[in-house]
Amino acid sequence: MSSQFIAGTRKGLFLYEHREGKWAVAQTAFLGAQVPMVLHDSRDQSYYAALHHGHFGSKLHRSTDGAQTWTEITAPAFPPKPEDEREVKCPMRGIPIPWNVELVWALEAGGADQPGTLWCGTIPGALFRSQDHGQSWELVRSLWDRPERAKWFGGGYDYPGIHSICVDPRDSRRIAVGVSCGGVWASDDNGANWRNCAQGMRAAYLPPDQGGDPDIQDPHRMVQCPGAPDHFWVQHHNGIFKSTDNLGHWEEVERVAPSGFGFAVAVHPRDPATAWFVPAVKDEVRIPVDGRLVVNRTRDGGRSFTACGCGLPQEDAYDLIYRHALAVSPDGNQLVFGSTTGSLWCSADQGDSWQQVTSHLPPVYCVRWI
């Protein structure tokens, strides 16, 4: 059983421990600061926390003593802008995409055979790689320079962003990233070359003749099953999609009740047919359907869902769960999710029942099991 998880929130980082039968805060850090992303690197037990200062920009901190103390390290940043840099504008609004890290939106460790390698996804859609535990970062130009990036645009943010990074456990050179709004992109050679892998997704927010364009899709969050890495799940702006052929194509999961809309998704570490989502009323509203907060679980690859609400508020609930705020433990039995109301819930039985951990945190941006 996992006995710790970490939450990044609107006003700080909170490490929770399970002791004497309940969850309690064991460590706090960066109180008052936005913590949009955290990472626990199981290869060396280090922790990373991205901070987003409204005035001072994105920063990165690392802890090597179990989140007791933190040291600021180099944050991913664009290099000096070349004179001949191609200017890309948002195709919807005609404004230039900034040469600046606006937000750290994804942090993942490289493979076990790549100690020190970290991947970082950002708004405005840049991917960075470190090979020295975050002491230095390089812009992955091979993706940044893709001509299709001129079609990307922001989904809920001013600019497009990379929110999901999946490193294939079979081969660490194979990486897939999810972009809102820019589809899914994969590399087989450690980021040297990229191809779009969003075929089959559907964008209802564009004119019908453009809805199938893979370059403008809005996957909200993408996860890969570690035990069956050919299998991916996406919570998309228009519903749920799955791929069972290593991103060859995506199949829409239809007739999802109470709603196919949401932001977060988690997949069982070994069983690719089991996944969890937190549904909300579709895109204009984004609140729990009928005021009932549920976690939607499928155990048959999306053919059916169970709306698990035991222990969750079933009336007058207005929690929204952001894309990084749902996580499943390494053993596949525990889940944790946090919401915009600052509430956290845990389950020890794959979502059959839930226990509220707190309702007094700042809005929760991300959660990770340790």
Partner 1 sequence: MVTVHVTPNLRRHVSVESASVGGGTVAEVLQNYFQRFPILRGYVLEDSGVLRKHMTVFIDGLTIQDRKNLSDPVPSNGEVFIMQTLSGG
List interacting residues with partner 1 (CB under 8 A).
Answer: 53-57, 59, 72, 75, 77-81, 98-101
Residue 198 Cβ, how far from partner 1 at the closest point, in Å?
Answer: 28
Tokens 């570690």 map to which residue? Answer: 226
Which positions ≥6 away from 260 have C-beta within 8 Å? 238, 239, 240, 253, 254, 279, 282
Q: Closest approach of Cβ 54 to partner 1, in Å?
A: 4
Rounded CA-CA distance 73/79 in Å is 16
Please, what is the minimum distance in Å from the beta carbon of residue 211 to partner 1? Answer: 34
CB of 30 to partner 1, least distance (A): 10
The nearest distance, CB 8 to partner 1, in angstroms, is: 17
Give min distance, CB of 141 to partner 1, in A: 14
Residue 306 contacts by C-beta under 8 Å, 6 or more apart in sequence? 296, 297, 298, 299
Residue 160 or 219 with smaller CB distance to partner 1: 160
56 vs 360, which CB is nearer to partner 1? Answer: 56
Comparing CB distances to partner 1, the nearer of 81 and 360 is: 81
Which CB, 53 or 249, lies closer to partner 1? 53
For residue 201, give the amino acid letter. Answer: M
Q: Are 289 and 278 in contact (CB under 8 A)?
A: no
Residue 162 or 253: the one with the smaller Cβ distance to partner 1 is 162
- Find out whether 103 and 123 touch, Cβ atoms under 8 Å: yes
Kindly report whether the peptide bond that precedes residue 258 is cis, defined as omega within 30 degrees of 0: yes
Question: At residue 210, what are phi and psi to the nearest 5 degrees?
Answer: -110, -5
- Closest CB to partner 1 among residues 104, 186: 104
Residues 6+ positions from 21 with CB-CB distance below 8 Å: none
